[in-house]
Amino acid sequence: MSNHFRDTLETFENSFPDRDYLIEIQCPEFTSVCPKTGQPDFGSLIFEYVPDKICVELKSLKMYLQQFRNEGIFYEKVTNTILDDFVAVAQPRRAKLTATFTPRGGISSIIRCDYIANT
Protein backbone atom coordinates (compact mmCIF):
# COMPACT_ATOMS: atom_id res chain seq x y z
CA MET A 1 0.00 0.00 0.00
CA SER A 2 2.33 2.74 1.24
CA ASN A 3 5.09 2.59 -1.38
CA HIS A 4 2.52 2.65 -4.16
CA PHE A 5 0.70 5.57 -2.53
CA ARG A 6 4.02 7.32 -1.87
CA ASP A 7 4.73 7.51 -5.61
CA THR A 8 1.90 10.05 -5.90
CA LEU A 9 3.77 12.68 -3.84
CA GLU A 10 5.70 15.32 -5.79
CA THR A 11 8.12 18.03 -4.71
CA PHE A 12 9.65 21.26 -5.91
CA GLU A 13 12.89 23.07 -5.09
CA ASN A 14 12.93 25.09 -1.87
CA SER A 15 13.75 28.73 -2.73
CA PHE A 16 15.21 29.34 0.74
CA PRO A 17 17.17 26.17 1.68
CA ASP A 18 19.55 28.08 4.00
CA ARG A 19 16.73 29.33 6.23
CA ASP A 20 14.66 27.42 8.76
CA TYR A 21 10.99 28.28 8.27
CA LEU A 22 7.80 26.42 9.08
CA ILE A 23 5.24 25.30 6.54
CA GLU A 24 1.83 24.32 7.90
CA ILE A 25 -0.60 22.44 5.68
CA GLN A 26 -4.16 21.86 6.88
CA CYS A 27 -6.21 19.04 5.35
CA PRO A 28 -9.66 19.18 6.99
CA GLU A 29 -11.37 16.48 4.90
CA PHE A 30 -9.31 13.31 5.39
CA THR A 31 -11.17 10.01 5.18
CA SER A 32 -10.27 6.36 5.61
CA VAL A 33 -12.15 3.24 6.71
CA CYS A 34 -12.27 1.50 10.09
CA PRO A 35 -10.81 -1.98 9.54
CA LYS A 36 -13.07 -3.48 12.23
CA THR A 37 -16.46 -2.06 11.24
CA GLY A 38 -15.96 -0.99 7.62
CA GLN A 39 -17.43 2.40 8.56
CA PRO A 40 -15.84 5.60 7.26
CA ASP A 41 -13.49 7.55 9.51
CA PHE A 42 -13.29 11.32 9.13
CA GLY A 43 -10.44 13.46 10.31
CA SER A 44 -8.40 16.58 9.95
CA LEU A 45 -4.65 16.44 9.29
CA ILE A 46 -2.18 19.20 10.06
CA PHE A 47 1.31 18.87 8.63
CA GLU A 48 4.01 21.11 10.08
CA TYR A 49 7.46 20.88 8.56
CA VAL A 50 10.73 22.71 8.10
CA PRO A 51 11.88 21.97 4.56
CA ASP A 52 15.45 21.32 3.56
CA LYS A 53 16.17 21.28 -0.17
CA ILE A 54 12.63 20.53 -1.39
CA CYS A 55 8.98 21.23 -0.52
CA VAL A 56 5.88 19.08 -1.05
CA GLU A 57 3.60 20.06 -3.92
CA LEU A 58 0.07 20.50 -2.56
CA LYS A 59 -2.01 18.99 -5.36
CA SER A 60 0.04 15.80 -5.20
CA LEU A 61 -0.47 15.70 -1.41
CA LYS A 62 -4.23 15.99 -1.94
CA MET A 63 -4.16 13.13 -4.48
CA TYR A 64 -2.01 11.05 -2.13
CA LEU A 65 -4.41 11.51 0.80
CA GLN A 66 -7.44 10.65 -1.33
CA GLN A 67 -6.01 7.16 -1.86
CA PHE A 68 -6.83 6.33 1.77
CA ARG A 69 -10.58 6.80 1.26
CA ASN A 70 -11.18 3.07 0.82
CA GLU A 71 -8.29 1.80 2.97
CA GLY A 72 -9.18 -0.20 6.08
CA ILE A 73 -6.57 1.17 8.49
CA PHE A 74 -6.42 2.13 12.17
CA TYR A 75 -5.86 5.79 13.13
CA GLU A 76 -2.41 5.15 14.56
CA LYS A 77 -1.20 3.27 11.52
CA VAL A 78 -2.54 5.71 8.96
CA THR A 79 -1.04 8.70 10.78
CA ASN A 80 2.40 7.13 11.08
CA THR A 81 2.29 5.78 7.52
CA ILE A 82 1.44 9.21 6.12
CA LEU A 83 4.29 10.83 8.08
CA ASP A 84 6.73 8.11 6.95
CA ASP A 85 5.75 8.66 3.30
CA PHE A 86 5.91 12.45 3.66
CA VAL A 87 9.40 12.28 5.20
CA ALA A 88 10.66 9.77 2.62
CA VAL A 89 9.66 12.06 -0.24
CA ALA A 90 10.18 15.58 1.19
CA GLN A 91 13.25 14.83 3.33
CA PRO A 92 12.50 17.73 5.73
CA ARG A 93 14.67 18.89 8.60
CA ARG A 94 11.71 18.39 10.93
CA ALA A 95 8.12 17.31 10.52
CA LYS A 96 5.07 16.80 12.68
CA LEU A 97 1.70 15.37 11.75
CA THR A 98 -1.38 15.82 13.91
CA ALA A 99 -4.45 13.77 12.97
CA THR A 100 -7.70 14.69 14.73
CA PHE A 101 -10.50 12.20 14.08
CA THR A 102 -14.17 12.95 14.61
CA PRO A 103 -15.95 11.18 17.47
CA ARG A 104 -17.24 7.67 16.95
CA GLY A 105 -19.24 6.07 19.75
CA GLY A 106 -18.61 9.11 21.94
CA ILE A 107 -14.81 8.80 21.67
CA SER A 108 -12.52 11.03 19.64
CA SER A 109 -8.83 10.48 18.96
CA ILE A 110 -5.87 12.74 18.27
CA ILE A 111 -2.70 11.11 16.99
CA ARG A 112 0.55 13.11 16.84
CA CYS A 113 3.84 11.92 15.43
CA ASP A 114 7.16 13.71 14.92
CA TYR A 115 10.27 13.39 12.82
CA ILE A 116 13.65 15.10 13.32
CA ALA A 117 16.39 14.53 10.75
CA ASN A 118 19.73 13.19 11.93
CA THR A 119 22.28 15.91 11.41
Instruction: End-to-end CA distance of the chain: give it in Å, rounded.
Output: 30
27 belongs to the catalytic site:
no
Catalytic one of 18, 20, 27, 41: 41
Catalytic residue among 34, 52, 84, 113: 34
Known catalytic membership, residue 7: no
Backbone angles phi, psi at 72, to 5 degrees: -80, 105
Residues paired with 24 in a beta bridge: 48
Strand partners, 95: 49, 115
Active-site residues, by number, are: 34, 41
